Amino acid sequence: MASHTKRYHNLDALRAFAMLLGIVLHGMMSFICIPAWGAQDLHQNTLLYGTVLYAIHGFRLPLFFLISGFFTMMLWKKRGTRGLIKHRLKHIGLPLVVFTIVIWPLLIAVSYWGLSTKIKRDASGRFTDHQEIWQAAVQGRLEAIQNIRDLGTPVDTKDGLGTTALSHAAMHNRMEAINGLLDHGANINAKNSQGMTALHFAALFGHVESVQNLVANGANPNLRNRRGKTPLEMAQTDHRTVQFIAVPFTVPVDSTTFQQRQSLVTAFLRGRTSARPLDSWSRAKARCYALAIEMPIFVHLWFLYYLLLILVLFLIALSLRKRLTCSVPNWMVATPTCFLWLLPLTFASQSFMTQSFGADPAGGLIPWPPKLAYYATFFFYGALAYGRPAFDQAGRHWKGFFLIAIPLLIGGLICFRQEAYFTSSALSVTYAWIMIFGMIGFFRKTFSSPRPWVRYLSDASYWLYIAHIPLILVPQVLLSEMNLPHGLKFLLICLSTFSVLLLSYAFFVRHTFLGTLLNGSKHPRK
């Protein structure tokens, strides 16, 4: 029988580790070609940092939701339904609302500063000898594109948002780069994660020459993006919206000639588009989908929103449990027999997601059902595992689990980059569970006894993760123009961010109302 007052030091440490890995993950973002990220470093290595990012992303949040399910069950056993609801609303719901409101203006300000820096760099033509293919396409450097391709980079390699070099060249109206990429066999109709093709981008920004060139070379003007829009409809976007979209992609928009260029693109495409306009209902659905599901309302705190939604499912499950007499057998918790139901159930939701190795991003107000089901599977396994002796043996072969995870990750990433999503999804969910049980076993062996510094980091981790996004962008922007090795920059970014956050926790959070809001009762000041 489990003690509801027992402190699980290993799971506390593991939950903090999952939180802190999020800071490491975001610390790499400036070294990956993700135009929406507010800092883009001069020295990028998308293959290296993108691989490490997926290695972390593939198991970090599933692990967090599993541990949350475990502690949610423990809290319910200890305090009952009312106590559980009160605790979660106070320490999850309230911080979600408060810090979302606080973080947005800070994030916008720092991101605007960082993206302005990149715009100036692109305008000046500054580049390094080891450019990536997307950077070379943005600057129209055909020779650099050829050299990068000769080194083995596929011409249709996609950046962090799934955008090809051809689309980058089209949105910046780089005619030589467009022709060179097409000569090297670039897929002219390749879509990114939002369903945007090179023609969509060229039409959106009013680049008449690029639109005409792409259509002449076989670009399909009837393709729709995920919002249901064709290139012709993208060319009819209002000026203010185009300026807003241009910021993360660092595309300069000349306000004096934009409307004229937009009219020319519209006139050119109107006679070449056979796709009928969507009816008002279909257009409204596509617009609502984009705003409600894709709009990152909660920024990096979306997982708190999903925790609250899954809590509702948990309470419903508890009410149904009272009416059922069946019990959950131990084999559903013990390893490896638990894989018999965990892998198929997780794969069922993962197979709907193709934007990422692991769960797709979706931070809107309306939850994306496959993503909610995906994380709910991990949460409910954690809830079922609470108090069961079979879970105490989970991950005991953690060294073997870590070894198995390596080929799963490599194979999954290869399949994902080749768009073999069925196989990639199967390898992704297997990798997630293998890594989770490996981490559980390792932390049970290493951190089962109390350690003051681990307890301190565990208490601080919630604040560190909540506050880190605007802060981590500052060193990323400051270092982005410096001609230093990217590995050294990454280390400086992480160390400076951790240091400032830990100091802020010690002096402004731990013994204040913020500490009470995040972690419960105040820690007495010594």
Alpha-carbon distances of 143 from 117, 131, 187, 333, rounded to whole Å: 25, 11, 20, 57
Rounded to whole angstroms, the Cα distance separating 481 from 488 reads 14
Domain boundaries, the chain: 9-116+291-519, 127-275
- CB proximity list for 505: less than 8 A, separation 6 or greater: 460, 463, 464
Please give the pLDDT value at position 423.
Answer: 95
Rounded to whole angstroms, the Cα distance separating 94 from 312 reads 16
Please give the pLDDT value at position 89.
Answer: 94
Alpha-carbon distances of 171 from 203, 242, 293, 429, rounded to whole Å: 8, 12, 25, 35
Domain 127-275, CATH class in plain words: mainly alpha
Rounded to whole angstroms, the Cα distance separating 246 from 204 reads 10
Rg of the Cα atoms in the chain: 25
Matching residue, tokens 């990536």: 132
Contact 303, 64 (CB under 8 A): yes
CA atoms lying within 13 Å on the CB side of residue 447: 23
- CB proximity list for 460: less than 8 A, separation 6 or greater: 16, 501, 502, 505, 509, 510
Intra-chain end-to-end CA distance of the chain, in Å:
36
Contact 93, 225 (CB under 8 A): no
Q: Indicate the helix (H) or strand (E) that contains 444.
A: helix 421-446
339 burial via Cβ count (<10 Å: 0-12, 13-18, 19+): middle
Rounded to whole angstroms, the Cα distance separating 215 from 230 reads 13
Alpha-carbon distances of 159 from 51, 131, 192, rounded to whole Å: 12, 13, 9
Contact 198, 170 (CB under 8 A): yes
Ordered mean pLDDT values, 10 residues apiece, the chain (526 residues): 70 94 94 86 88 95 96 94 94 95 93 84 67 83 81 83 90 91 92 90 93 93 87 87 82 87 90 74 66 77 94 92 76 91 95 87 81 95 92 89 96 90 95 97 92 93 95 94 92 96 95 88 56
